[in-house]
Structure 1
Amino acid sequence: MHPASLWKALPNGRVECHLSPRKCRIPEGGLGFCGVRYNRNGELLTLNYGKSVPMTEERIESEAVYHYAPGAPILSLGNIGCMLKCDFCQNWQTSQARLVREQDIARYTPEQVVDYAVRHGIGILSWTYNDPVVWQEFVMDTARLARQAGLRNLYKSAFSIGPEAIDELLEVMDIFSISLKSLDADFYRKFTRSELQPVLEGIKQVYRARQGGRGPHLEVSNLCITGRNDNLEQARRVCDWMLDNLDDEIPLHYVRFHPDYLYTQVARTDVNFLEQARRQALDAGVKFVYLGNTANTVSVDTCCPQCREVVIRRSGEGIALHLDGNRCGHCGHVLPIVNLPQTSKPVAFAGKPGRSLTHVFRGAIGAAHIEQATENPIRYVFLDADGKEIMGGQSSCLRFLVSKPSARVVAMRIDLDADKDVRVLEVFDRAHFPTVLTEQSQSGSCDVPPAPLQPR
């Protein structure tokens, strides 16, 4: 247990938590709504300090961030619990505290996280997966230390968070990627058991901090859920709100949903609808609109609004920049993009690998986590149907994300030392942290992740 922040004592040993807008009033011996903040003898403690899913090297685009350090590696961390109770959650194995398995949890200190990132040449820490709001104390301690080490911090959240907590985050966060699930208050109450208005106020609070050009980078995403909010009226309300309350250069991501947790009886979001929503937002005046969790579409590329030429072309791990700093490489137009120099360190792969493994991508699943027990160099190569090598990469991280760079890719060869082994876990969508091995999920659907636990 670790002392919690942002609370006050009440009579009769109760405490009031100010981390979320819910302001839980917790009796002695009780837990907050999140399941990880505990009242012990009139003092609020957090049960998840330093508890994380394994740190994972990914790319910044996996967090719905397209205009900050394109293609940069990030170190993603997620924890236990959540301020929401979404029945469609894609990370319910860790967001629903009562369902967490001990085997899926690692324990870190702030110093260990920062040292690991520096050692692997990763310049950005990403607080993500279930939702970092419930991890405020560990996030703040680690983010401050990261700043001292010259690292940047990214906050990926549904943002059901109180204004005091946001003020703290604004001291240390460089990037906010906020998931606005709907502009319908009833949607939030019914499907997430939370309120819409605090989320909107939180986004505006971050946006106000940007005034003068010195505040954090901000991007907004809207998860379009089959049968819930996958219609053009709902999508239009999101882009209209952004134009009315933010500005036309804040990137908007319409994100494809995959069935998960308690909402699996539907299909994935229709891509044609997402394309229509994107066109509608562009026509309304939003300059940068993207689709998330869709492959092989130009709707993930960044175009210059002045000359309409592509300045960032994306395809899985493949990324091509046509930028001169933050200017269009074609016409010189200044773009709202932070283009940082890459800081990754090369991985020394000594000689030929001792053995190779092959992973075949199933259906629409185009990504996977590779996990190893020790920090050894691993090389991976993408293959087409004829076995021809397309491109590849390498990493020595304990866990890292790989993503198909082309529709022609059908498999991946993993090269490693003879005495080493790896685990491969299928990643269904970005910001999805898998907990089931590929061999356990091969018999399941390629649209619905396998469930390691039965939800209760």
Structure 2
Amino acid sequence: MVDKKWQENGYPARLEERLPDNVVRCHLSPRNCRIRPGQHGFCMVRANRDGRLVSLNYGRSVHATEETIETEAVFHYEPGARILSMGNIGCMLNCDYCHNWKTSQARYVEDKDVFYYTPQEVIDIAKRHEIDVISWTYNDPVVWHEFVTETAALAKEAGIVNLYKSAFFISERAIEELIPVIDIFSISIKSIDPKYYRKITKGWLEPVLDGTEQVYRAGKHVEVSTLMVTDLSDNEQTAHDIGRFVLDRLGPEVPTHFVRFHPDYKMTNTIRTPVERLEAARRVGLDMGLRHVYLGNVYDTESTDTRCYNCGELQITRYGLNAQILAVTAEGTCAKCGADANIRRVPGGGRRPATVDDLPTTHEFDTATFDWYGDVRALHVQVRNDSSQPQEVYHRRTHQGTRSNPWSVVNLQPGESYRFIAAKSEVDERGVAVAVPPSCTSSLHQVFDRAHFPTTTADSGSLNADVTPLPLFEARG
């Protein structure tokens, strides 16, 4: 029996309707769950305690993690920016292929995987590590509504941008509470087929489309993505339907991403999406008149780069989750022709960690290395300072041959645990090296495609590593 201590304390929830006999109705999602005393809603993290609606996941999180904005299928808002990714527990959906099933489905969450943060602690982490964007992500931020809105408001006061990465199965009232505090909406539209939504996601389509249009009409930065599931939705009809929605209800400038699928959760008896099908989907979108169509979870293709829709100038190159700005001005226009590049910039958003050419000679370092293999081309690196003094840890990319990169520096406060992504950034890159002083520890966690939870440590084995990440889902009663 898995302990569920993280569920013990409830936090007053918003969007509550009180009904007779101490029953409550939750208006956070289109489900409008009617919940009796002692029971939970569909998400399993909103409950009725003594006749009041409470959130059971307020401040409960997976480990806060530094990543890049490209991780979130956001290519047109300060490309290459470092973000602080915050994910939680529970979900309004239950997609058969969920990459985050061990946290999105609350029944599988274990106490050992849960971290606790206050809103101010999240802001402090971002400020301490000079990160300008907080991303509400992973399982889905909809079910973290109270914590997200309260923390995002503090972030805005501190000059930090808020990014909301979501399947967006959410009510109109809840969106109205997000609009004042969220700057970027990256919305995953699973399909335009209502039957697909009901069968595969356990939700329904129209609220997702309506909500996407709602934030677009509110003037927010919106990007949409679609997971192209092998032999299910990886076809030109899906691309056409998504393109039609973007053109008819949003606008041609909205970046649209067709994302490569990997087998996971209940859908492992298949293969990764063939890249040629993704390329064909992209051509459909471009031929329809979409200005910016990209592929996700792919390497070694120009279909992740950004070109000016007006003059064709190469504006941004991308490799994996890394981006290099070549020809976009600080105002977000094409550096060659002056056309609007539909790219928003963040003052200071390009800040990078300090680097050194060589490790200090003051003491010995414990160095761990990892080499990329197959489709595993990213790591979460977790480091912890076990001392009572500030410490510095170091990491760098390794390459084939004699070429070496400088070491990036991560400053850790006494007792601080910090997690960051390292994703392959160049064709000839071999892997990653991490160096920590004797008072610190490190662990390396394999990441499959865009970052996800759960992750496994690099020494936990590589079963199905080119197809499906560990741990594998086992059906339970």
TM-score normalised by length of structure 1: 0.95
Q: Tell me: CA distance 1:346–1:382, structure 2 relative to 1, closer, same or farther (3 Å).
A: closer
Equivalent residue letter for 2:377: G
Q: Is the 8 A contact 2:167 2:187 kept in 1?
A: yes
Range with greater deviation from structure 2 (112-121 or 445-454): 445-454
**Residue 382 of structure 2 corresponds to residue 371 of structure 1:** yes
TM alignment of 1:11-26, pairs within 5 A: 11-26=20-35
Residue by residue over 1:173-226, the C-alpha shift from the partner in whole angstroms, topping out at 9 and shown as x without a partner, is: 00000000000000010011000011011001111101xxxxx21100011111
Task: List gaps (5 residues or longer) in structure 2.
Answer: 1-9, 413-417
Residue by residue over 1:98-146, the C-alpha shift from the partner in whole angstroms, topping out at 9 and shown as x without a partner, is: 0001111100000100011111111111000000000000001101111
| SS of equivalent to 1:422 | strand
**Residue 144 of structure 2 corresponds to residue 129 of structure 1:** no
Range with greater deviation from structure 2 (317-326 or 103-112): 317-326
* Aligned residue in 1 for 2:246: 242
* Aligned residue in 2 for 1:414: 434
Q: Give the alignment partner of residue 257 of structure 1, picking from 243, 261, 270.
A: 261
Q: Return the alpha-carbon distance in structure 1 between the equivalents of residues 72 and 465 of structure 2.
A: 24
* Aligned residue in 2 for 1:354: 365
| SS of equivalent to 1:226 | coil
Q: Give the alignment partner of residue 118 of structure 1, picking from 127, 138, 152.
A: 127
* Aligned residue in 2 for 1:327: 333
* Aligned residue in 1 for 2:305: 301
Q: Give the alignment partner of residue 426 of structure 1, picking from 446, 453, 457.
A: 446
Deviation at 1:342, TM superposition (A): 2.9
Deviation at 1:378, TM superposition (A): 2.9
Equivalent residue letter for 1:155: Y
Q: Give the alignment partner of residue 450 of structure 1, picking from 470, 474, 477.
A: 470
Q: Is the 8 A contact 1:425 1:434 kept in 2?
A: no
Q: Return the alpha-carbon distance in structure 1 between the equivalents of residues 448 and 411 of structure 2.
A: 23
Deviation at 1:431, TM superposition (A): 3.7
Equivalent residue letter for 2:382: E
Q: Return the alpha-carbon distance in structure 1 between the equivalents of residues 423 and 355 of structure 2.
A: 21
Q: Return the alpha-carbon distance in structure 1 between the equivalents of residues 64 and 408 of structure 2.
A: 19
Deviation at 1:234, TM superposition (A): 1.4
Q: Tell me: CA distance 1:391–1:86, structure 2 relative to 1, closer, same or farther (3 Å).
A: farther
Q: Is the 8 A contact 2:375 2:449 kept in 1?
A: no
Q: Return the alpha-carbon distance in structure 2 between the equivalents of residues 345 and 272 of structure 1.
A: 35
Q: Tell me: CA distance 1:318–1:392, structure 2 relative to 1, closer, same or farther (3 Å).
A: farther
* Aligned residue in 1 for 2:89: 80
RMSD: 1.7
**Residue 410 of structure 2 corresponds to residue 395 of structure 1:** yes
Equivalent residue letter for 1:389: S
**Residue 395 of structure 2 corresponds to residue 380 of structure 1:** yes
Q: Return the alpha-carbon distance in structure 2 between the equivalents of residues 287 and 134 of structure 1.
A: 33
| SS of equivalent to 2:198 | helix
Q: Return the alpha-carbon distance in structure 2 between the equivalents of residues 395 and 358 of structure 1.
A: 17
Q: Return the alpha-carbon distance in structure 2 between the equivalents of residues 396 and 283 of structure 1.
A: 48
Q: Return the alpha-carbon distance in structure 1 between the equivalents of residues 213 and 24 of structure 2.
A: 28
Q: Tell me: CA distance 1:125–1:99, structure 2 relative to 1, closer, same or farther (3 Å).
A: same
Deviation at 1:384, TM superposition (A): 2.8
| SS of equivalent to 2:232 | coil
Range with greater deviation from structure 2 (163-172 or 349-358): 349-358
* Aligned residue in 1 for 2:154: 145
Range with greater deviation from structure 2 (5-14 or 368-377): 368-377
Q: Return the alpha-carbon distance in structure 2 between the equivalents of residues 31 and 192 of structure 1.
A: 19
* Aligned residue in 1 for 2:4: none
The percent of aligned pairs where both chains have the same amino acid is 45
Q: Return the alpha-carbon distance in structure 2 between the equivalents of residues 171 and 441 of structure 1.
A: 45
Q: Is the 8 A contact 1:110 1:142 kept in 2?
A: yes
Equivalent residue letter for 2:73: A
* Aligned residue in 2 for 1:34: 43
Equivalent residue letter for 2:328: L
* Aligned residue in 1 for 2:186: 177
Deviation at 1:455, TM superposition (A): 4.2
Equivalent residue letter for 1:330: K
TM-score normalised by length of structure 2: 0.91
Q: Return the alpha-carbon distance in structure 2 between the equivalents of residues 264 and 193 of structure 1.
A: 18
* Aligned residue in 1 for 2:3: none
**Residue 278 of structure 2 corresponds to residue 274 of structure 1:** yes
Equivalent residue letter for 1:270: P
Deviation at 1:436, TM superposition (A): 1.6
| SS of equivalent to 1:441 | coil
Equivalent residue letter for 2:468: V
Q: Return the alpha-carbon distance in structure 2 between the equivalents of residues 377 and 240 of structure 1.
A: 50
Q: Return the alpha-carbon distance in structure 2 between the equivalents of residues 393 and 248 of structure 1.
A: 39
| SS of equivalent to 2:441 | coil
Deviation at 1:287, TM superposition (A): 0.2
* Aligned residue in 2 for 1:213: none
| SS of equivalent to 1:87 | coil
Equivalent residue letter for 2:425: P
Q: Is the 8 A contact 2:355 2:406 kept in 1?
A: no
Q: Return the alpha-carbon distance in structure 1 between the equivalents of residues 71 and 409 of structure 2.
A: 18
Q: Return the alpha-carbon distance in structure 2 between the equivalents of residues 351 and 274 of structure 1.
A: 46
Q: Return the alpha-carbon distance in structure 2 between the equivalents of residues 184 and 416 of structure 1.
A: 50
Q: Return the alpha-carbon distance in structure 2 between the equivalents of residues 55 and 271 of structure 1.
A: 32
| SS of equivalent to 2:214 | helix
Length, aligned pairs only: 451
